[in-house]
Structure 1
Amino acid sequence: MFGYVPVRLDEIATIIRGGNFQKKDFVENGRPCIHYGQMYTHFGVYADKTITFVNDEVFSKSKIARHGDIVMAVTSENVEDVCSCTAWLGDEEVAISGHTAIIRHNQNSKYMSYFFHSSAFFEQKKRLAHGTKVIEVTPSKLGGIEILLPTIEEQSRIVSVLDRFDSLCNDITSGLPAEIEARKKQYEYYRDKLLDFK
């Protein structure tokens, strides 16, 4: 599509392997942290608050994500969940556990995260995933992922459309399961169309 440039992820981002703190390091109050296991259970396309914390000492030895970084779990029990990610949009820096990659880039953070939730990305990550009981995508191999990249302005427009679909899917509550399912399918269709440009 005119105006969309295919780029490799490593042309627009630095990929940093996550840290090494564990669940036993969690404290009641402290510095915010994200554990890779929370990618599958708690975090969606973006987040600005964590649900867990570590003390200053653990934080100081951790790998850190900053506002706008993508935090991605690079191990999972299955191919579907590997590379689950969130765009960190919080004001504070956050400590990131092992089995993750921090993707530091110069694009629209939500656009990047939506792309990493799309079928265009899924097809590429399937080729990179390895393992049997534990599925892994080596962070260094993520650099070869190809993204069709529109301008920052167009990224913002696409994010605005996808955000509206996302809130429609997630704000409709009980009593409308068929409507929710239809909206989700519609959202997935448009997300993949907006991010694939074939």
Structure 2
Amino acid sequence: MSELNYLEKLLDGVDVEWKLLGDASFFEIANNGRKPVKSSLRIAGKTPYYGANNIQDYVDGHTHDGEYVLIAEDGSASLERYSIQYVTGKFWANNHVHVVRGKTRVNSRFLFHYLHIVNFIPFLTGGVRAKLTKGQLIEISVPIPCPDNTEKSLAIQSEIVRILDKFTELTAELTAELTMRKKQYNYYRDQLLSFKEGEFEWKALGKIGEVRMCKRILKSQTTSEGDIPFYKIGTFGKRPDAFISRDLFNEFKGKYSYPKAGEVLISASGTIGRAVIFNGKESYFQDSNIVWIENDEKIILNKYLYYFYQIAKWGVSEGGTIQRLYNENLRKLEIPVPFSGNPEKSLAEQAKIVRILDKFYTLSTSITEGLPREIELRQKQYEYYRDMLFSFPKPEVAEA
């Protein structure tokens, strides 16, 4: 059965009318109860205190009690994926959210799912902090199947909610599993990198290899497009937003230090200690702000270093506007080397630790494998069916 036939079967020939959120016979806007409270004046309690994007605190008392949909008034983290929250029971709403719910003819959970596909940008006003005023909120239209037959309308809405909730429940379960796996990964990482007395030796990184860095690239030498990605602190571990020419890359790579595939790059400023394993693809890195240890893998495995860096206590120098990890601090950082008197046994132990942590890391972090990938697929599946189930024909002018 095609998706269109399924939707047609669900509607069973009934009409769909578009109703504005300002239509008081279908929707309630309960903004009057909202009450912002400064964090210093909030009384601690068990009631969730909602802001534009999430729960900000837990307080005593409440402003609302029931099933509602919260729509950001201003401060949404994303304008394209506008902040919509679903709440039940007692809660406290501040003045950065509109508090809305369906009346007897509208399932509030149906409203919640539908609002996720609304393009809010045309309804927003203001500059830097775009705002959805109540005057614009009430102009947003919502599809209501068979509005003159409440029982049939609610049955159709409930079926759509049932289907979409199955996907959101699965995503929530996978997300909870991912959180547990990350805790498990952190636990085993910390345990595996803790050794019994006599089974390891502390060695300074300066004794393992030399601190290296690329030659400085001037801003005037970079472009917004080009052949070779150039990574600065702000884009380290992310997508680059600057590039250099291939000629400059070849010149600097030939004259100055350049990492080998597998070596671990470290942020020495800003996000101090962030580590990325260099994949060997052609790219260039910002001078002294991104460094690495040119170590001998016959003594210390790169991947072992990478995992240790995640729990290292970096010797950060104070002073100045921005803290940084100077080379001397990095050289002094000590790393536990298992069975250092027996290189063969040491490398075998390091490799064993890496194998175990790789499995946990892949499951909890990889965007191409494991739970993150599964969550992404389930979210796309939810969005596909949500868009299909709300593909009602829309008239040019919404009915009030």
TM-score range, shorter chain: 0.5 to 0.7
Separation (CA, whole Å) in 2 of partners of 1:166 and 1:51: 27
Output aligned runs, 1:88-99, within 5 Å: 88-90=278-280, 92=281, 94-98=283-287, 99=289
Q: Cα 1:133–1:51, aligned 2, differ >3 Å: closer, same or farther?
A: closer
Shift of 1:155: 1.2
**How far does the alpha carbon of each residue in 1:87-108 deviate from its partner, in whole angstroms, 9 at most, with x for none?**
2132x46422121212211121
Confirm or deny that 1:135 pairs with 2:331.
no
Q: In structure 2, what is the Cα distance between the partners aligned to 1:27 and 1:57?
A: 16
Does the CA contact (< 8 Å) of 2:203 and 2:334 recur in 1?
yes
Give the alignment of 1:118-197 within 5 angstroms.
118=311, 121=312, 123=313, 125=314, 127-131=315-319, 133-150=321-338, 151-170=346-365, 171-173=370-372, 174=375
User: Shift of the alpha carbon at 1:7?
Assistant: 0.7
2:302 is aligned with 1:109: yes
Q: Measure the CA separation in 2 of the matches of 1:5 and 1:93.
A: 36
TM-score normalised per structure 2: 0.36
Asked if structure 2 preserves the Cα contact closer than 8 Å seen for 1:36 and 1:73, the reply is yes
TM-superposed deviation, 1:29: 4.4
After superposition, what is the alpha-carbon deviation per residue over 1:138-193, rounded to whole angstroms, capped at 9, x for unaligned?
A: 123210000001212211111111111112212324499xxxxxxxxxxxxxxxxx
Identity %: 18
User: Is 1:12 matched up with 2:208?
Assistant: yes
Q: Which has the higher contact order (CA 8 A, sep 6+)?
A: 1
Shift of the 16–140 alpha-carbon distance from structure 1 to 2, 3 Å rule, reads: farther
Q: Is the 8 A contact 2:204 2:335 kept in 1?
A: yes
Structure of higher CA gyration radius: 2
User: With structure 1 as the length reference, what TM-score do the two structures score?
Assistant: 0.67
Distance 1:114 1:51 in 2: 28
Which residue matches 1:100?
Answer: 290
Q: Which AA in structure 2 matches 1:100?
A: I
Is residue 36 of structure 1 aligned with residue 230 of structure 2? Answer: no
In structure 2, runs of 5+ residues without a counterpart are: 1-195, 339-345, 379-400
The one-letter code matched in structure 1 to 2:355 is: S
Other structure's SS at 1:14 match? strand
The number of equivalent residue pairs is 159
Kindly indicate whether the alpha-carbon contact (under 8 Å) linking 2:206 and 2:332 is maintained by their aligned counterparts in 1: yes
Inter-partner Cα distance in structure 2 for 1:26 and 1:154: 45
Q: 1:162 to 1:22 in 2, by over 3 A?
A: farther
What is the distance in 2 between the residues matched to 1:32 and 1:104?
22
Whether the aligned pair in 1 keeps the contact of 2:213 and 2:258 (CA below 8 Å) is: no
In 2: Cα distance, 1:52 partner to 1:158 partner: 37
Alpha-carbon separation, structure 2, partners of 1:52 and 1:159:
33
Task: Tell me what 1:87 maps to.
Answer: 277
Query: Which 10-residue stretch deviates more, 64-73 or 167-176?
Result: 167-176
Change (3 A) 1:52 1:172: farther
Superposition RMSD on alpha carbons, in Å? 2.9
